[in-house]
Amino acid sequence: MTILNFPFVGSEAVASGLIRKHERRARYRAEFPDVYAPRGVALTIQERAKAAWLYSHREGVIAGLTASALHGAKWVDDQLPIELIWPNARRPRGLRTYDMRLRSNELVEFGEMRITTVKRTAFDIGRRGRLDDAIARLDALGNATGFNAADVLTVAGAHSGARGIRQLRAALDLYDAGAASPKETWLRLLIIRAGYHGRKLRYPC
């Protein structure tokens, strides 16, 4: 009996004789359409990213917070929607897709998959959501990779019309790769707001 304990394309596994259709139904669940994982097993965000990539016919690029986690950032919830650059207006539950173009220097190989580079990932996660959340996300990515804010601003310069650039600049101004947790980021911002730090908190207009 063949046991597949990783995300796999169901139709490919059946066609190759690895499993039979009844085994697929009995032992595995669909993480995404035609992409299966073992029943009763909670997938990590890395495994869910692979499942999403397989669902995209191996064409999508992992991005956003998912890419941040793959680059080593902590504090990324395993159950967040997987972010994927791949045009699909009818994305399934658990997947968030973006129809955008990447420059050739904004993606990198990650095993079988492609993911956005650290600086492109920082560019994306720093523009979205609340300012404090964006700072915490950048801190987590920076703690894992030590990225340079100037490199992210270079990416921003190549995408001057993108949404959230003002917030990104404000977040990078307060980015600190030394922060070891979101709570530490929150305490740092609290101190800045209280006026006990030399840097002033600036909000995007």
pLDDT of residue 5: 61
Give 152-186 pLDDT, tens digit per residue. Answer: 999 999 998 899 999 999 999 999 999 999 999 99
Rounded to the nearest integer, the mean pLDDT of the chain is 92
pLDDT of residue 198: 53
Domain ranges (residues) in the chain? 1-41, 42-193
User: To the nearest whole percent, how much of the chain has pLDDT over 90?
Assistant: 83
Write the DSSP assignment of the chain as a string of letters.
-----S-EEHHHHHHTTSS-HHHHHHHEEEEETTEEEETT-PPPHHHHHHHHHHHTTT--EE-HHHHHHHTT-SS--TTSPEEEES--TTPPTTEEEE-----GGGEEEETTEEEE-HHHHHHHHTTSS-HHHHHHHHHHHHHHH---HHHHHHHHHHTTTSTTHHHHHHHHHT--TT--SHHHHHHHHHHHHTT-SSSPP----
Confidence of residue 1 (pLDDT cuts 50, 70, 90): very low
Cβ-proximal residues to 107 (8 Å cutoff; 6+ apart), any chain:
61, 114, 115, 116, 117, 120
Whether the CB-CB separation of 15 and 47 falls below 8 Å is answered with no
Confidence of residue 197 (pLDDT cuts 50, 70, 90): low
Confidence of residue 3 (pLDDT cuts 50, 70, 90): low
Taking residues 83-108, report their average pLDDT. Answer: 93
pLDDT of residue 175: 97
Q: What are residue 166's phi and psi, to 5 degrees?
A: -60, -40
pLDDT of residue 2: 52
Confidence of residue 101 (pLDDT cuts 50, 70, 90): confident
pLDDT of residue 194: 85
